[in-house]
Structure 1
Amino acid sequence: MPGVPQTLDAEAVRSWCAGALAALGRERADIDAINVYPVADGDTGTNLYLTVESAARAVDAVPAGAGVAEVIRAMAHGALIGARGNSGTILAQLLRGMAAVLADGTGDGDHLARALADAADAAHAAVAHPVEGTVLTVARAAADACDGGGHLTEVATRAYAGALTALDATPGQLAALRRAGVVDAGGRGLVTVLGALVETLTGQAPNRPAAPAHPPVLPADGCVAGDGPAYEVVYLLDADDRAVDRLRARLDELGESLVVVGGDGLWNVHVHVDDAGAAVEAGVEAGRPHRIRVTHFDTQAAPAEPAPPAGRAVVAVVPGEGLAGLCAEAGATTLLARPGEPPTGDELAEAIRRTHAHEVVLLPNDTELRAAAAAAAGAARAEGIRVALIPTRAAVQGIAALAVHEPDRDFDEDVVAMTAAAGATRYAELAVAERQSFTSAGVCQAGDVLGLIEGDVAVIGHDLTDTARTVLDRMLSAGGELVTLVVAADTPETLTPTLEQHVRAAYLAVDTVVYPAGEGAPPLLIGVE
């Protein structure tokens, strides 16, 4: 057939990636609607779409004329760094397993068959406790259906047919699916991706999976898979293989739905836990976690059919892992902002969508994020989500806003109360100068301690504790009832006791509260309310 590729070459991979993204875009609402396992949070289709969207961006960045190895590896790498949710993380590993074979092969049917087999093995190995009736089962069936190889189009068609048959059988393998009357959502997404491959290679779209005759049947208590952990924790991790082996064991003790995918020093970690902070700290012990996302699972089930979301949520940007856990425990979805790695507007918009809430309060907690936060809020509003952007300029203002947040209160009243609490909190930050420069307080040298009040350098010192004490005195000279100290992991342990004692001695009516910021935060953040 004219225009149909005879091998899975670079252009065919590009076409497959674009086709998979388009297909998931068409079907993600249907896939979201049948998402009942492992958590009925209605986001599997969206997560798979975002994962492939990241893969497509990576492929688009590969120069024209590049070979199949470069394109397929870009597709796999893009999926790895952008993987979302349980199924998205597994799909990233499937693509990585395929890339390892296809990058060095001839692109014929035999290589595709071997790529699918290796991909199924890799994905199965990445999941701590594999369960039959999930995307893993569908992936294995696709590989088994094309065992022995053959012509490229025949192999792809047999893989799709095998996956479709396995998908139809998933309700008989998993009780949660059987009770709800649906097939596995992750498996349905993989069938969609394989269908795009068939269309790329044959020029014809295969038959789509049949839609469920009725919406999913959810138990009266709104819980399909049982009472599970409260948080989903996801992060990228720079670490070696041995450290990752120890991390897997630690996270397996902490939670469930553990998937760790990747290799060659870069990993994507996904786990459901009750202690989000401990899951992040485990990553810190193993290597360097980044792009950390902590999501609090809604206590209600996912909608039984595509419908406007309900409820209220808070999305907060924080500068350290400890604060991510703290804000998550307060019910917020968090994004980590590391030095030089602030979240983009697209990432903020995605975080808003992931809450599945009709009303969202966005706390950027950084003046530099104002434009990105405004763009994210605008994008979410265009999708019908009511978003209130509170222009918090520091994490301590976000903490103050969260402290008065009441999700059962009228939305406008809640936003007013949170805005007032944030606005009533003056903020300061201690930082260490990296080079000589001119500041509003004079010339500083590399290594000087800078005390910034409301974003401007107010104090230049040589000792962290002395500078912090001076900053506190200047802030409390205007009055205050509560001092909040947010301390980074590498800040000297003697700092906070010294400051607490100073406040008690000099300001009798002022209380002090201390929060650990973890790795990646400035040495000290100060809030005065």
Structure 2
Amino acid sequence: MINGKLLKDAMMSAAISIANKKRSVDELNVYPVPDGDTGTNMSMTMGAALRALELMGEDVTVSQVADTAASALLRGARGNSGVILSLLFRGIAKGLNGLTEADCESMANALELGVSAAYKAVMKPTEGTILTVARMASVKAQECVHTTNDPVILWEEVCKEAEATLAKTPDMLPVLKKAGVVDAGGQGLLLIFQAMLEVFHGGSIAVPAEKAKEEKKVEFSTAVGEFDEVINFTYCTEFIVQKHPDSPDASKLRAYLETIGDCVVVVDDEEIIKVHVHTDSPGMALTKALEFGCFINDPKPKIENMRIQHENKVLEAKITKQQEFRPAEQEKEFGFVAVAAGLGVESMFTDLGVDQVVRGGQTMNPSTDDILKAIMATPAKTVFVLPNNKNIIMAAEQAIKLADRNVCVLQTRTIPQGFAAMLAFDESASLADNRINMTKAFERVSTGQITFAARDSDYEGHQIKKGEILALDNSKLSFTDKDVEKAAVKLTRRLVKGDTSYVTLIYGADVTDEQAEHVQALLSAKLSDKIEVMLVNGGQPVYYYIISVE
């Protein structure tokens, strides 16, 4: 029999084990776009259960342990893999409900309930994934009920079948076979099951791996670092000069810079002069520096507007504070929650009437609990949720049953779709009409995305190298390129149709104003005069450009 303490220790060990091995699971991901990878999402989901189980005492039943873990997993679920994992254990909790200890039959039935719950939650289940691994393991468990009365032996067979099925996933999904990997979600589930088995066999709880120490970056102070209390000069200017053979003494450059700015740092050796200065005249600083040598290209001279950066820092602090969601009374009929990343994008959603913005997106999938808290903080009887990413939809849908108010999750998969849905909202219309009209509106929007390859990959007929520029047409890989600007122009022209009226370029944190304006000018020259090309500083991570075509 498996008692409560044994199950508790097994699940705690599983959470620690998947955390220790999450990178190896992440590396199985064949999708080249940087995203909230499977191993990371499963690890963070299991981490929620670990924290809840650590608070439990030793005298517990299997029912109490399973219920506690399932509740924590549901709230902590991140990404599709995390949601599926939470549903598996939620079903297991139902199967163990009311039991002090678990025998062979109850473990098999619990796993079967878990698989059923997971399959029901996925609209179009794909075989060759975590679902298949779980299902075949459950089938084996039911078979074992007739051959053994030892639940530990049963779990051994569950792990063996899960491992055998995982090995077959490349034959079920061609994309896995082409990449030469097994399914990442299935691998994560196998690691969890195997860690539980080790504890069932009498092993100790896994030990967390030591966290790698972050390398401390040695660089100049940032423009809004130690000097952001009082900004006397506008531009933080940094550069490195390669000295001329007859270069004057660097102290003369320092003396000059102190007459046109403050926070002057000049460091030199036999070959270079490294400069940092806050000034209203960066051109004068650069011109003077040329008397001492020539600028090197790596790193290039950098000029940053500290006042704008300071304003952004204040805005970011304000938005961060807003993330401390507090439950609100249901004062109005409709409210809105959107998931977004980037100060500009977040501000746009707020301007369109979104009550709460949950920070997250491609590389940082928010949990069900994150979305739930935002829903509860929205002062409305009905709350529309805009996930704006396909890997966040399932987590958002899990929040529906946990909220104390009506929740409608619109299946927006991109930021432009979220904007379109908000623009289509009619305060005077009913919930049903708004759901239909908002859905029709976001489905009409074409979205382009310019990003980079996070890994080498053979994906959808493309041999992709890490760092290559990727152009996504409505989330599907269209082509690769070496140049961000060329890719943005090419992709936009592909997205434009005969009835297109508007193109909106939302540029990210790694694109300068000048670069974005250049792309805008190129498109304005190449597209029809009837098409308006608008520019928005989204500040989003991961994507150089998010392109909305309507």
TM-score, normalising length: structure 1: 0.44
Structure with max Cα Rg = 2
Q: Give the TM-score normalised by the residue count of structure 2.
A: 0.42
